[in-house]
């Protein structure tokens, strides 16, 4: 175990950045954007350094009093996903955010972004159940600000619905956390793992109820089917960068919460005995099929992407609920893959919406010939979603499928194939229509900034590279995942 100051720096740096943005709120939007971009880029660079450190030792950690931060290879990967996606979101938003958000609100928007990044990184690093819960609360508050930032009726209504659902889920999560604390007497994940079996024997019902409350609370916050109702509205009416935050990061951090809790605080043999896995399995299959079917029915591009996120959350939970090494690697890879691919799809669709003022799927006919760059990026993302090799989407499906075979659940392969087919049915018509059908009088409403174009291209390149060099990412996290299954 190595101690490193990188861990507190990762948490404090964005927080200081948020304070600086608020202090400098009179500066121009462009200057603030540059500052925020620099802060997120430094966080990403620290993440790379941390990934290097984590590769050489079992865990990198840092402790101050009762605050305990620790990172293994999986955490390092998550930190790279969170900070890296934020760099590209800010790169896209800089220069465009003034068109979507009231000028006065821009500094607060950036501050909420950085505060959220800080909470996301801290939630990935924290090793104490109550701290993790509190960080999810901070994430929720920041996300509500980001959703409402547009300030029009649909955005504010979506933000209110979002925060209402999430406050209830938080309360359930808190009740579960308190229950675990009361029955085991500890909050550090490693301590809970030691005391939980005895606690379960002594107070079976309260412990089971607490675990159930934690699963329902976090699954609701992660928009796992059938608790996903808040997501499409929030995703559909928020500003484009906020939509990427919702589907790329907000949903993920709650999944990471559950993953950390069930891998680090619940011993593996106990987990096999609990009914958590079959319940999550049913919900995730429901999410994959239900989310895809609902996406098929949408006429609005952003709502279609939102329902697609519902389905992708199902993929991630599917791998975790299979609980074998291959499937968990697939799920972790899919967290990375979905952040990249959904990021590029939302940014591309959002740019088209801004460029043309259109958001109905039917109105996308012909836009590909007029605006090739965003539509090519959208096409690459769509193909990755369908799972065409060598793009990154194929790799996660491959590992999830192999994991299903390892778990002797071959029927799940059929679910994965059916979902690929459904993905093709709702993504490809958009792409085909955009390039091969002619659209009438497409006007250009604004100019895309170089940064926005660069962000989209970098995501597309990342999607292709992740597909080609998936083995190096998987080789990096595999030892840490292996330890989860053998170490227990």
Partner 1 sequence: MNSLAYLVTTVLFLAGFWVVLSQADLVKKVYGSGLMQGSVYFSLLLTDFRHSWSLAVVGIAVQAAVTAVAWILVHKLTSLYKTTDMNEIARLRRMGQ
Contact between 67 and partner 1 (CB under 8 A)?
no
Q: Of 1-9, 145-153, 329-337, 349-357, which segment contacts partner 1 by CB under 8 A?
A: 145-153
Contact between 159 and partner 1 (CB under 8 A)?
yes
Residue 145 beta carbon to partner 1: minimum distance, rounded to whole angstroms: 7
In degrees to the nearest 10, what's the CA dihedral of 462, 468, 469, 474?
Answer: 100
Torsion angles phi and psi, residue 128, rounded to 5: -130, 130
Q: Of 54-62, 140-148, 238-246, 422-430, which segment contacts partner 1 by CB under 8 A?
A: 140-148
Radius of gyration of the chain (CA): 21
Q: Of 179-187, 413-421, 422-430, 460-468, which segment contacts partner 1 by CB under 8 A?
A: 179-187
Residues 114-133 as x/- pattern, contact with partner 1 by CB under 8 A: ----------------x---
Cβ distance 109 to 149 under 8 Å?
yes
Contact between 208 and partner 1 (CB under 8 A)?
no
Closer Cβ to partner 1, 178 or 465, answer by number: 178
Bridge pairing between strands 60-64 and 2-3: parallel
Contact between 362 and partner 1 (CB under 8 A)?
no
Contact between 224 and partner 1 (CB under 8 A)?
no
Cβ distance 375 to 458 under 8 Å?
no
- Exposed, middle or buried by CB within 10 Å (0-12, 13-18, 19+), for 83? buried
Residue 341 beta carbon to partner 1: minimum distance, rounded to whole angstroms: 30
Contact between 19 and partner 1 (CB under 8 A)?
no
Contact between 191 and partner 1 (CB under 8 A)?
no
Instruction: Find the binder of partner 1 among 87, 144, 231, 304 (CB under 8 A).
Output: 144
> How many chain residues are in contact with partner 1, going by CB under 8 A?
30
Closer Cβ to partner 1, 3 or 299, answer by number: 299
Cβ distance 364 to 301 under 8 Å?
yes
Cα–Cα distance between 235 and 398 in angstroms, integer?
28
Q: Of 52-60, 168-176, 243-251, 274-282, which segment contacts partner 1 by CB under 8 A?
A: 168-176
Instruction: Find the binder of partner 1 among 148, 231, 306, 336 (CB under 8 A).
Output: 148
Q: Of 153-161, 250-258, 327-335, 441-449, which segment contacts partner 1 by CB under 8 A?
A: 153-161
Closer Cβ to partner 1, 174 or 193, answer by number: 174
State whether the Cα torsion 284-288-289-294 is positive or negative: positive
Contact between 170 and partner 1 (CB under 8 A)?
yes
Whole-angstrom CA distances from 216 to 258, 261, 400 are 10, 13, 23
Contact between 160 and partner 1 (CB under 8 A)?
yes
Give the angle 275-280-281 at the CA atoms, nearest 5°. 100
Contact between 301 and partner 1 (CB under 8 A)?
no
Number of other residues whose CB lies within 10 A of the CB of residue 158:
25
For the packed helices 251-260 and 106-125, what is the interaxial angle rounded to 10 degrees? Answer: 20
- Exposed, middle or buried by CB within 10 Å (0-12, 13-18, 19+), for 147? buried
Chain positions contacting partner 1, by CB under 8 A: 130, 134, 137-138, 140-141, 144-145, 148, 151, 153-154, 156-157, 159-161, 163-164, 167-168, 170-171, 174-175, 178, 181-182, 185, 187
């Amino acid at each position: 175990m190595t101690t490193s100051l990188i861990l507190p720096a990762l948490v404090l740096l964005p927080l200081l950045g948020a304070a600086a943005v608020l202090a400098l709120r009179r500066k121009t939007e462009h200057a603030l954007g540059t500052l925020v971009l620099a802060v997120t880029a430094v966080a990403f660079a620290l993440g790379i350094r941390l990934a290097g450190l984590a590769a050489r030792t079992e865990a990198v950690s840092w402790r101050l009093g009762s605050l305990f931060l620790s990172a293994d290879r999986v955490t390092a990967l998550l930190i790279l996903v969170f900070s890296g996606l934020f760099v590209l979101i800010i790169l896209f938003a800089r220069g465009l955010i003034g068109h979507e958000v009231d000028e006065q609100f821009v500094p607060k928007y950036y501050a909420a972004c950085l505060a959220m990044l800080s909470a996301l990184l801290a939630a990935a690093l924290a090793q104490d159940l109550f701290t993790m819960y509190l960080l999810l609360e901070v994430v929720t508050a920041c996300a509500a600000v980001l959703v409402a930032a547009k300030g029009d009726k649909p955005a504010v209504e979506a933000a209110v619905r979002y925060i209402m659902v999430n406050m209830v889920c938080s309360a359930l999560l808190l009740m579960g956390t308190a229950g675990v604390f009361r029955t085991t007497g500890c909050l550090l994940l490693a301590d809970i793992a030691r005391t939980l079996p005895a606690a379960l024997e002594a107070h079976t019902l309260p412990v089971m109820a607490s675990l159930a409350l934690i699963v329902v609370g976090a699954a609701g916050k992660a928009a796992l089917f059938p608790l996903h109702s808040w997501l499409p509205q929030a995703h559909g009416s928020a500003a484009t960068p906020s939509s990427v935050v919702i589907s790329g990061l907000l949903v993920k951090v709650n999944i990471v919460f559950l993953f950390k809790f069930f891998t680090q605080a619940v011993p593996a043999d106990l987990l096999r005995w609990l009914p958590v896995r079959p319940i999550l399995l049913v919900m995730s299959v429901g999410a994959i099929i239900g989310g895809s079917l609902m996406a098929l029915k949408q006429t609005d591009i952003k709502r279609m992407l939102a329902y697609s996120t519902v389905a992708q959350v199902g993929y991630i939970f599917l791998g975790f609920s299979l609980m074998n090494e291959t499937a968990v690697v697939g799920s972790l890879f899919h967290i990375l893959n979905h952040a990249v691919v959904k990021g590029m799809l939302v940014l591309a669709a959002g740019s088209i919406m801004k460029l043309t003022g259109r958001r109905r799927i039917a109105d996308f006919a012909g836009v590909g010939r007029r605006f090739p760059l965003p539509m090519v990026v959208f096409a690459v993302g769509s193909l990755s979603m369908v799972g065409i090799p060598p793009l990154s989407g194929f790799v996660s499906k491959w590992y999830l499928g192999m994991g299903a075979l390892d778990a002797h659940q071959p029927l799940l392969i059929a679910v994965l194939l059916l979902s690929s087919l459904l993905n093709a049915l709702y993504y490809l018509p958009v792409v085909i229509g955009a390039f091969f059908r002619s659209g009438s009088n497409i006007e250009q409403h604004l100019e895309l900034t170089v940064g926005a174009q660069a962000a989209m291209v970098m995501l597309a390149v990342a999607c292709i590279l992740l597909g080609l060099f998936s083995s190096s990412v998987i080789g990096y996290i595999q030892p840490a995942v292996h330890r989860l299954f053998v170490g227990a």
